């Protein structure tokens, strides 16, 4: 379900925005499959660096992915 006042995050392509629920779906998919693409990794990093558009919950989600990368549980694939 989408809400009109749902936070929006700049898209990885620089065109438009990504809804916070889409970020949630992306992170959940990455954590379920233990892999992500290099483009997804760049998107998450740029999103994390643009903290003004992130809620604390979104920061926590992205940090879970990076913790998985550091521990070797998540792989970057092409």
- Local confidence band at 8 (pLDDT 50, 70, 90 cut-offs): low
Which single residue is written with the structure tokens 């990368």? 69
Return the domain boundaries, the chain: 8-77
Q: How far apart are CA 29 and CA 26, in angstroms?
A: 5
* pLDDT confidence of residue 1: 41
Q: How far apart, in whole angstroms, are the C-alpha atoms of residue 45 and residue 34?
A: 17
Rounded Cα distance, 75 and 78, in Å: 10
25/78: higher pLDDT: 25
Q: Output the pTM of the full model.
A: 0.72
């Amino acid at each position: 379900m989408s809400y009109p006042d749902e936070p929006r995050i700049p898209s990885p392509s620089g065109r438009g925005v990504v809804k916070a629920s889409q970020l949630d779906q992306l992170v959940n998919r990455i954590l379920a499959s233990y892999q992500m693409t290099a483009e997804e990794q760049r998107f998450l990093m740029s999103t994390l660096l643009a903290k003004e558009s992130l809620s604390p919950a979104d920061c926590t989600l992205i940090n879970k992915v990076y913790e998985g990368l550091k521990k070797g549980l998540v792989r970057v694939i092409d």
